Amino acid sequence: MIWLFAFSSIIGNYYYGETNVRYIRDSKLGVFVYRLAVAAMVMVGAVVSLDFAWSFADITMALLTLCNLAAIVLLSRQAVFLLKDYRQQKKEGKNPVFTKDKMPEIADKLEAW
């Protein structure tokens, strides 16, 4: 059962990563390099000590946390505006709906909402 969980986790995370690589730059070379990196990390992860693997995971989680904090800071102005708009609509007894005309500075950047 643990083997199935580990295998499905690797496949799932691989797919998330490849989807992001394709979104950032849809090139065959980029996807190929990503696939090589994943295969190498799986092989390395299978032979390194458990202490090293956990330390490496901790470091990468810290880097991901820093990326997320940067995104939160960069998006905070828009998030606060949208929260105020949501609360105002709730206060008025409406079913809150966002329309891109409320934030014209991001309207051209919205792919989906």
Per-residue pLDDT tens over the stretch 6-24: 899 999 999 999 999 999 9
**Mutual angle of helices 2-24 and 28-47, in 10-degree steps:** 150
Q: What is the DSSP letter of 102?
A: G
Percentage of residues of the chain with pLDDT beyond 70 = 97
The whole-number pLDDT of residue 13 equals 94
Query: Could you tell me if 6 and 37 lie in one domain?
Result: yes
In this structure, are residues 102 and 85 in contact, taking their beta carbons and an 8 Å threshold? yes
Q: How far apart are CA 27 and CA 35, in angstroms?
A: 13
In this structure, are residues 11 and 39 in contact, taking their beta carbons and an 8 Å threshold? no
Query: Could you tell me if 74 and 93 lie in one domain?
Result: yes
Per-residue pLDDT tens over the stretch 30-52: 999 999 999 999 999 999 999 99
State the total domains in the chain.
2
User: Taking residues 60-86, what's their average pLDDT?
Assistant: 93
In this structure, are residues 81 and 71 in contact, taking their beta carbons and an 8 Å threshold? no
- The answer to the question of residue 74 being in a domain is yes
* Structural domain of 18: 1-47
Query: Could you tell me if 54 and 97 lie in one domain?
Result: yes
The whole-number pLDDT of residue 112 equals 66
What is the value of pTM for the model shown? 0.64
- The residue type at 40: A
